[in-house]
């Protein structure tokens, strides 16, 4: 069973990575960029401040906690424990992959920090902002999927490297949303 999953992981990776073109190389490179989404994050922050006023302060502060948890889970716990080579570092796959801009990422890839962070943020904001921004999940979830798929397309992650953090981000988002719902009324009351 495990071998079948590993083979499916490789097959999907090679299919997606092998479906390359100059157009998709540029799109996926853009999607995975470190600073690509800064204007998007800025827009989200302004939107939260506009819609939630004082409530946005704690909501936004908890985003820092959320990203710290998801990023440390991926980079500080999973990658060192599992030490699973990224496809771009796997000697068996290196000649089969299309590498974009000679980018190979770090040595280990399980689990994707990109996927952990974007899915955690998407689920968290879906939970805490659903009363005033009902449409937000329809933007954030596809965005998280897009960013995560770009990592597989670029050959730096297997599909399971993005599926696992997508699933793990749900309890992280629930936990941080719970903190927001429990303590925000107290904080607002104290400083109002």
Q: Read off φ and ψ for residue 161, nearest 5 degrees.
A: -65, -25
Taking CB atoms within 8 Å and a gap of at least 24, the contacts of 29-38 are 29/100, 29/101, 29/103, 29/150, 29/154, 31/146, 31/147, 31/149, 31/150, 32/114, 32/147, 32/150, 32/151, 32/154, 32/156, 37/147
For residue 186, pLDDT beyond 80: no
Percentage of the residues of the chain whose pLDDT score is greater than 70 = 96
Predicted local distance difference test score (pLDDT) of residue 160: 96
What token pair was written down for 60? Answer: 């936004």
The whole-number pLDDT of residue 190 equals 53
Domain ranges for the chain: 2-191
Tens-digit pLDDT profile for residues 58-76: 999 999 999 999 999 999 9
Q: What is the pLDDT of residue 2?
A: 82
% of the chain at pLDDT higher than 90: 84
What is the residue whose two structure tokens read 């903190």? 179
Rounded average pLDDT over 151-168: 97
What pLDDT does 5 receive? 85
């Amino acid at each position: 069973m495990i071998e079948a999953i590993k083979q499916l992981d490789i097959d999907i990776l090679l299919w997606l990575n092998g479906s390359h073109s100059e157009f998709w190389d540029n799109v996926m490179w853009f999607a995975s960029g470190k600073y690509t989404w800064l204007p998007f994050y800025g827009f989200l922050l302004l939107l939260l401040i506009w819609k939630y006023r004082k409530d946005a302060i704690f909501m936004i502060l908890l985003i820092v906690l959320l990203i710290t948890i998801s990023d440390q889970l991926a980079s500080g716990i999973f990658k060192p424990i599992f030490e699973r080579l990224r496809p771009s570092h796997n000697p068996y796959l290196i000649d089969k992959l299309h590498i974009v801009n000679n980018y190979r990422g770090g040595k280990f890839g399980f689990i994707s920090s990109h996927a952990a962070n974007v899915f955690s943020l998407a689920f968290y904001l879906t939970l805490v902002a659903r009363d005033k921004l009902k449409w937000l999940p329809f933007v954030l979830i596809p965005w998280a999927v897009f960013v995560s798929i770009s990592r597989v397309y670029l050959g730096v992650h297997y599909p399971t490297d993005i599926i696992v953090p997508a699933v793990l981000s749900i309890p992280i988002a629930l936990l941080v949303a719970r903190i927001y719902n429990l303590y925000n009324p107290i904080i607002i009351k104290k400083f109002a």
